[in-house]
């Protein structure tokens, strides 16, 4: 009887996904409660037919080589796949998959929550109460910014960007968006990136991380924004130059920022940490029980499909 294929899972995933994987092979779970180092990762995947990877795992040709010729699929538990060298794996006939769709609402909810937190100074107010700082209600106390009648600029109108736009409409916001091309089926105004920066009261980032979008929000972009504008990032940290962001906030070039992702995650630009006009959360965009479970199960089903000789559900192509 032939040996069952080994499925290497680089970090904890929900039991529901493990059960799906176990139908197709022997599941090898990492017991390290942290990202594996590059050396540990190569050692861990040796002999695997499938790898279930996380967004902090750099999966490139050296990892594929370490796995050996039996590696057939890498299932990345994320929508973004900037951590995977898709071309290098495709050259070895290794299928790459991701988990789009299932995290759209959760991430859009968080993006809007961050927008409310930074505009209404929610974090600042909570810290004040927890510190037992004396306060009393008065008409000028912790004044924030309302949303109604203002303009939200969405950079990247994919599934999550569209979901954020739908939420914005319920709050009375106008939406403009930029991207590669206009979307005829979307009721919003397509503008250039520079025009979006000039016109938007709030800018929400939803573009993938590519060489073109790395540091898309740099010193020049920040200077182009309104002085009263706020920036929200729930996509990938390196889309924002955090040092330039700290400079812009210190100079009063923009009013605030809310970040769920960071340039050198989990590290954060030190100058942002003490600022009251910045909201920081630890990559919680998809962090609901339902969503993280759905992501892992989708990744698992991609693995089982490929190992069975079937087409993957959500393949990424170079």
Angle at Cα 210 formed by Cα 100 and Cα 158, nearest 5°?
Answer: 35
Residues catalogued as catalytic = 236, 265, 283
What angle in degrees, to the nearest 10, is found between the helix axes of 289-307 and 104-119?
150
* Predicted confidence pLDDT, tens digits, the chain (318 residues): 568 999 999 999 999 999 999 999 999 999 999 999 999 999 999 999 999 999 999 999 999 999 999 999 999 999 999 999 999 999 999 999 999 999 999 999 999 999 999 999 999 999 999 999 999 999 999 999 999 999 999 999 999 999 999 999 999 999 999 999 999 999 899 999 999 999 999 999 999 999 999 999 999 999 999 999 999 999 999 999 999 999 999 999 999 999 999 999 999 999 999 999 999 999 999 999 999 999 999 999 999 999 999 999 999 999
CATH no. of 6-101+289-316: 3.40.50.720
Question: Going along the chain, which residue ranges are E strands?
Answer: 6-9, 26-29, 50-53, 73-76, 95-97, 151-155, 174-178, 189-190, 202-205, 230-233, 256-259, 278-280, 315-316
Buried b (16+ CB within 10 A) or exposed e, 23-48: ebbebbbbeeeebbeeeebbebbeeb
Provide φ and ψ at 119, rounded to 5°.
-80, -30
Domain ranges in the chain are 6-101+289-316, 104-280
Rounded to whole angstroms, the Cα distance separating 9 from 18 reads 9
Fold match between domain 6-101+289-316 and domain 104-280: yes
pLDDT at residue 1, rounded to an integer: 54
CB–CB of 297/22 below 8 Å?
Answer: no
Distances, alpha carbon 16 to alpha carbons 6, 21, 60, in Å = 18, 9, 28
Neighbours of 144 (CB within 10 A): 16
What homologous superfamily does CATH list for 104-280? Answer: NAD(P)-binding Rossmann-like Domain (3.40.50.720)
pTM of the predicted structure, to 2 decimals: 0.94
pLDDT the model gives residue 127: 97
């Amino acid at each position: 009887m032939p040996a069952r294929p080994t499925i290497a899972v680089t970090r904890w995933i929900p039991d529901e996904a493990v059960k799906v994987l176990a139908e197709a092979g022997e599941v090898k779970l990492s017991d390290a409660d942290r990202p594996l180092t590059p050396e540990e990762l190569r050692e861990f995947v040796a002999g695997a037919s499938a790898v279930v990877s996380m967004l902090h795992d750099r999966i490139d040709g050296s990892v594929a080589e370490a796995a050996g010729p039996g590696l057939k699929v890498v299932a990345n538990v994320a929508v973004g796949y900037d951590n995977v060298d898709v071309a290098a794996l495709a050259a070895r006939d290794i299928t790459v998959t991701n988990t789009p769709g299932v995290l759209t609402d959760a991430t859009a909810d968080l993006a809007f929550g961050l927008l409310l937190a930074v505009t209404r100074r929610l974090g600042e107010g909570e810290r004040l109460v927890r510190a037992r700082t004396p306060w009393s209600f008065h008409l000028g106390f912790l004044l924030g910014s309302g949303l109604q009648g203002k303009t939200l600029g969405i950079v990247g109108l994919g599934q999550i960007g569209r979901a954020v736009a739908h939420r914005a409409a319920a709050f009375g916001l106008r939406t403009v968006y930029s991207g590669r091309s206009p979307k005829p089926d979307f009721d919003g105004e397509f503008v250039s990136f520079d025009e979006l920066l000039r016109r938007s009261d709030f800018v929400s980032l939803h573009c993938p991380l590519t060489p073109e979008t790395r540091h898309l929000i740099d010193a020049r972009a920040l200077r182009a924004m309104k002085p009263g504008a706020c920036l929200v990032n729930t996509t990938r940290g390196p889309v924002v130059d955090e040092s330039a962001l700290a400079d812009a906030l210190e100079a009063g070039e923009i009013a605030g920022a809310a970040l769920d992702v960071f340039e050198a995650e989990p590290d954060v630009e030190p100058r942002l940490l003490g600022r009251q006009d910045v909201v920081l959360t630890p990559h919680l965009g998809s962090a609901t029980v339902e969503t993280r479970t759905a992501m892992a199960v989708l990744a698992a089903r991609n693995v089982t499909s490929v190992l069975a000789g079937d087409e993957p559900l959500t393949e990424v192509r170079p």
